[in-house]
Every structure is written in C-alpha cells, then in structure tokens.
Amino acid sequence: MYGLLGQIIATPGARDRLAAILVEGTADMPGCISYVVAYDMEDADALWVTEVWKDRESHAASLDLPAVKAAIAEARPLIAGFRNRHETLPIAGAGLPEDAG
C-alpha cells in the first residue's frame, strides 16, 4: 500500500468550500482505499487529508481522472498552501481491507 497525509491551507473563509470540492472530486478513484478530509482543530483555515492507496501507481493515475483534474482546478484558487506533507507505507489496521497488505 501507499499513503499520503498532510495539511492543505485554505484561503481565509474558503475551508468549507475547499473541503466539499475535495470530497466530491475524490469519491471514485480506482485503487483508493481511503481518502479522508478533516478539519484541523487548531487552525481555522487548515484541512488534513489522509490517504491510503492500493499502490503508488493508483495514486499517480488518479491525477489524470477527469473528476480529480476538475477538482484540482476548482480548488487551486482556494488553496493558500500546504504543510506537514508526508508519504507513508500503510501496514494494516482497522478500516483497511484485510487483503490490502
């Protein structure tokens, strides 16, 4: 498996709209096991996105999906920056398919 996590910083007041765009645009991505959009509890402009993919290739391919491209284009003007971006190698855990290893 392949994982990503990090913060996306919205432009002031745009966090809710940005979250909606991310959730909507990432609903149907082959090989995506988990893509969670969450509010940061300390920074009112920050979102956390945590991702688990079947493999790195699935993630790379997702960037060519029409819905993802549209979401990125719509989201870009609402993004002020990124923080704490890390790649991970998910091992296992609750909520992951047993055979996803």
Q: Which positions lie near a second copy, rule CB under 8 A?
A: 1, 3, 5, 19, 22-23, 26-29, 32-42, 48-50, 52, 84, 86-96
- For residue 17, give the amino acid letter: R
| Least distance CB 46 / a second copy (angstroms) | 9
Q: Considering beta carbons, is residue 73 or 91 the nearer one to a second copy?
A: 91
Question: Is the CB of 48 or the CB of 74 nearer to a second copy?
Answer: 48
Contact yes or no for 15/59 (Cβ under 8 A): no
Distances (CA, A) of 49 to 34, 36, 98, 99: 10, 6, 22, 23
Residue 90 Cβ vs a second copy, minimum distance, rounded to whole Å: 4
User: Please, what is the Cα angle at 25 between 23 and 28, to 5 degrees?
Assistant: 95
Identify which of residues 36 and 60 has a Cβ nearer to a second copy in the complex: 36
Q: Which two tokens stand for residue 20?
A: 């909606």
